[in-house]
Amino acid sequence: MTGRRVLVTGASRGIGAATARRFAAAGDRVAVHYGRSGEAAEQTLASLEGTGHVLAQADLADPAAVQAMVGAVAGQLGGIDVLVNNAGAFLPHPITDSTYEEWQQAWAQTLGVNLVGAANVTWCAVRHMPDGGRIVNVSSRGAFRGEPGQPAYGASKAGLIAFAQSLARALGPRQIAVTTVAPGWVATDMAATRLAGPEGDRRRAESPLGQVATPEEVAAAILYLASPEATMASGTVLDLNGASLLRM
């Protein structure tokens, strides 16, 4: 399970950075993608064990930039064995409190990165997986529970699950397994403000465990789903929400 070539989108911080570190610790070479947070991405790159890791910049809402970025990563690593679609946009836009222009902008930006961007990265990456591979998409509990304050986010994450399941069927004959993780609240730096004080207590109380996930816990699940042992998990969705949302 070592020596694979891995592209992690949105790897400058949070789940993406933790995932990049997990793969690097397993002996894999990692492409650390970022959109705008170049300094944070460089810090992630510097934290990786091993050698041969690279930085990869692209606005995932720009199809041409996506194609150029994936092509550059494949050239630098010699191909792609694992793709982790982690990058995401989260923009509040409650329907009753947003102008029409704010509403349109939020939907375009959120779906442009979370769903269309991930789809475009995947199309490009599959061209560099001639001998099989793994694709792991990072969705959210919000795909099932709903996101009333940011409906585009919930819709994009639900769409990402449907996309993954369609590709699990389409790419299985090429020995490419496609899976999804769906975390609830995760203790990232971006969530720190909302997990502080009384609001944070309420968030943690949503789980009978009384806690939220760490980025490292989500990364461990992603590493498993990308492993040879998880081949038959293709098409599945792994919930990581501490039983805060249960579904059949």
**What 3-state class would DSSP assign to 163?**
helix
Q: What is the pLDDT of residue 206?
A: 94
Q: What is the pLDDT of residue 68?
A: 98
Give the burial string for 229-246 (b: 16+ CB within 10 Å, else e). Answer: ebeebbbbbbbbbbebee
Token pair listed for 189 = 């730096």
Q: What is the pLDDT of residue 65?
A: 98
Instruction: List Cβ neighbours of 229 (8 Å cut-off, separation of 6 or more).
Output: none
Topology of domain 5-240, CATH: Rossmann fold (3.40.50)
pLDDT by residue, tens only, the chain of 248 residues: 459 999 999 999 999 999 999 999 999 999 999 999 999 999 999 999 999 999 999 999 999 999 999 999 999 999 999 999 999 999 999 999 999 999 999 999 999 999 999 999 999 999 999 999 999 999 999 999 999 999 999 999 999 999 999 999 999 999 999 999 999 999 898 788 888 888 899 999 999 999 999 999 999 999 999 999 999 999 999 999 999 999 98
Q: What is the pLDDT of residue 121?
A: 98
Give the start-to-end residue ranges of the domains of the chain. 5-240
Q: What is the pLDDT of residue 1?
A: 43
Rounded Cα–Cα distance for residues 164 and 135 (Å): 8
Catalytic: which of 34, 100, 153, 224? 153
Is 153 part of the annotated catalytic residue set? yes
Q: What is the pLDDT of residue 166?
A: 98
24 within 8 A of 50, measured Cβ to Cβ? yes
Q: What is the pLDDT of residue 190?
A: 79
DSSP 8-state class, residue 186:
B
Whole-model pTM: value is 0.96
Q: Where are the alpha helices (DSSP H) in the chain?
A: 14-25, 38-47, 63-77, 100-111, 118-126, 142-145, 151-171, 197-205, 215-225
Token pair listed for 173 = 């004959």
